[in-house]
């Protein structure tokens, strides 16, 4: 029950993985396009984990689909939970290294590489803020 006395159904829980791609001390950020949810916001490329997939499998698949490149998935950076109006996103980010191909735009509006210390200049999806904060204060 909320403060208006209304009982609402529990929100959908959406398990999402994001790639912190690191190259030459820079991290890749991708801006969501107008056709996506959270339009215009910056994120780590990735997406929803499908049934039967491990987080790493999902991330490899998403990077191949979205950026047309292959990456090695490394250590986990952060797991956060954020409630949006469309559901609760549980986002886990992993350090990743490119092993084949140059990231290409397919669904995002743009991509950019930034030093970790400068990540704060972008407008990140709210679920990403804890990972961004961790990266800004860590050496990558
Ligand atoms: N890929 C990715 N998604 C993120 C991040 N942060 C964050 O809140 N999200 C949200 C956006 C989406 O609602 C969901 C990921 O789903 P998705 O990447 O498959 O997005 P999508 O465009 O297919 O989703 P949709 O518009 O069909 O709802 O998680 C992030 O860093 N990376």
What does the pLDDT read at residue 106? 97
pLDDT-derived band of residue 80, with 50, 70 and 90 as boundaries? very high
Q: How far is the CA of 47 from the centre of ligand 1 (A)?
A: 5
Secondary structure in 3-state letters for the chain: CCCCCCCCCCCCEEEEEEEEEEECCEEEEEECCCCCCCCCCEECCEEECCCCCCHHHHHHHHHHHHHCCEEEEEEEEEEEEEEECCEEEEEEEEEEEEEECCCCCCCCCEEEEEEHHHHHHCCECHHHHHHHHHHHHCCC
| pLDDT of 105 | 97
pLDDT band at 62 (very low <50, low <70, confident <90, very high): very high
Query: Which residue's CA is the nearest one to ligand 1's atom 28?
Result: 37
Query: Does the pLDDT of residue 1 top 60, yes or no?
Result: no
Q: Check: CATH 3.90.79.10 for 13-137?
A: yes
Smallest CA separation from ligand 1 atom 19, residue: 47
Give ipTM to 2 decimals.
0.91
């Amino acid at each position: 029950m909320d403060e208006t006395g209304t009982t609402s159904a529990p929100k959908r829980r959406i398990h999402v993985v994001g790639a912190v791609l690191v190259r030459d001390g820079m991290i890749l950020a991708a801006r969501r396009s107008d056709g996506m949810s959270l339009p215009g916001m910056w994120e780590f490329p990735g997406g929803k984990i499908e049934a039967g997939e491990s987080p790493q499998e999902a991330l490899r698949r998403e990077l191949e689909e979205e950026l047309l490149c292959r990456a090695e998935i490394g250590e986990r950076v952060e797991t956060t939970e954020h409630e949006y109006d469309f559901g609760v996103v549980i986002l886990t980010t992993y350090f990743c290294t490119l092993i084949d191909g140059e990231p290409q735009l397919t669904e995002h509006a743009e991509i950019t590489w930034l030093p970790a210390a400068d990540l704060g200049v972008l407008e990140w999806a709210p679920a990403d803020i804890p990972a961004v904060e961790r990266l800004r204060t860590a050496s990558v």
